[in-house]
């Protein structure tokens, strides 16, 4: 278990728990160069003990470690620090595992191999959600309201928009797990796909986000200007680490977080729906999808 000096301008305090020291050291160097303070432990018990001694903003936890399952570590960290945002990293590509990890309270899940941009994006998103937003006006009571935002493909706004939609959900008294995790994480994922895979980062293109609020429901559309994609082909692919399977994993993540996900305009427009109350139909659909996943080898 390592020690790093205190810093007066630290962005976040991050705890890394991974049995591979090389990964711990790489993450420490990369994240500290970005202004974060990092502690790491190569044993699960040492990581949990460290969390019991000092506060952290984030924990990055490997799913598979000797003698300890990553979900068990996640549970202990949450008992120790309820406000800790835990990012789980895994080399397994299972939708059932993804679902189980999010059900356990993880803030995010990253599949190996991941990039520094992937993990930094989740950390910045978490910090953006934590910030106190200015009070909202003209939202109470809400009968119906539509907001449209247009973002440049440069990526500007990919943190502010999820946080803004979080505030709208809070104003409608959505459960905190939906307003502070499900909505921001799903929208962030859709924005990343629209910018990098839809518009392919082309200068001069934009991504449009529309949010419609009605009856404690938020419907969000994310539309890019790209050529679209074949939804059925992407979803039928085997879980091998390629660019297209990364898109597939993102779709599976969003499909789990939202009550409804659909694609229009040849895949250029993604539409997600979030409800403040989980409907019986949604719970039945979740159960049906769990049964399918248990019997599928492609997930």
Residue 111 Cα distances to 33, 98, 243, angstroms? 23, 10, 12
- Tokens, residue 143: 């009968």
Note the pLDDT of residue 249: 82
Note the pLDDT of residue 235: 63
> 3-class DSSP state for residue 151?
strand
Note the pLDDT of residue 240: 56
Alpha helices in 34-106 (DSSP H): 44-53, 70-80, 95-103
Note the pLDDT of residue 7: 45
Question: Where do the DSSP E strands lie in the chain?
Answer: 13-17, 37-41, 58-62, 64-65, 68-69, 85-90, 108-111, 144-152, 206-214, 217-223, 260-264, 269-275
Residues in the chain predicted with pLDDT less than 50, given as ranges, are 4-7, 135-142, 281-282, 284-299
Q: Which domains does the chain have, with CATH numbers?
A: 13-130 (3.40.50.2300), 144-294 (3.30.565.10)
What is the pTM for the complete model shown? Answer: 0.75
Note the pLDDT of residue 133: 54
- Tokens, residue 284: 């039945």
pLDDT tens track for 184-238: 999 999 999 999 888 998 989 999 999 998 878 999 999 999 888 766 666 666 6
Distance (Å, whole) CA 81 – CA 97:
23
Q: What is the 8-class DSSP label of residue 204?
A: T
Note the pLDDT of residue 231: 64
């Amino acid at each position: 278990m390592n020690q790093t000096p205190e810093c007066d301008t630290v962005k976040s305090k991050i705890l890394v728990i991974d049995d591979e020291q090389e990964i711990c050291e790489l993450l420490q160097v990369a994240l500290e160069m970005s202004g974060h303070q990092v502690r790491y432990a190569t044993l699960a018990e040492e990581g949990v003990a460290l969390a019991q001694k000092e506060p952290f903003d984030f924990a990055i936890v490997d799913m598979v470690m000797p003698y300890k399952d990553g979900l068990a570590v996640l549970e202990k960290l949450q008992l120790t620090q309820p406000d800790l945002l835990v990012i789980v990293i895994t080399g397994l590509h299972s939708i059932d595992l993804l679902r189980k990890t999010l059900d356990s309270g993880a803030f995010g899940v990253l599949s190996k191999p991941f990039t520094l941009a992937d993990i930094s994006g989740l950390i910045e998103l978490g910090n953006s959600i934590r910030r106190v937003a200015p009070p909202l006006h003209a939202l109470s009571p809400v009968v119906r309201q539509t907001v449209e935002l247009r973002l440049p493909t440069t990526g500007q706004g990919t943190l502010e928009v999820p946080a803004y939609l979080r505030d709208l959900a809070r104003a409608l008294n959505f459960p905190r797990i939906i307003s502070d995790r499900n909505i921001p994480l799903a929208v962030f994922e859709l924005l990343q796909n629209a910018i990098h895979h839809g518009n392919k980062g082309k200068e001069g293109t934009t991504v449009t986000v529309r949010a419609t609020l009605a009856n404690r429901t938020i419907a969000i559309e994310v539309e890019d200007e790209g050529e679209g994609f074949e939804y059925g082909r992407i979803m039928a692919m085997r879980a091998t680490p390629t660019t297209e399977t990364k898109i597939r994993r993102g779709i599976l993540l969003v499909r789990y977080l939202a009550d409804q996900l659909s694609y229009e305009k040849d895949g250029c427009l993604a539409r997600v729906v979030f409800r403040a109350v989980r409907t019986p139909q949604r719970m039945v659909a979740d159960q049906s999808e769990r049964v399918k996943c248990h019997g599928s080898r492609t997930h």
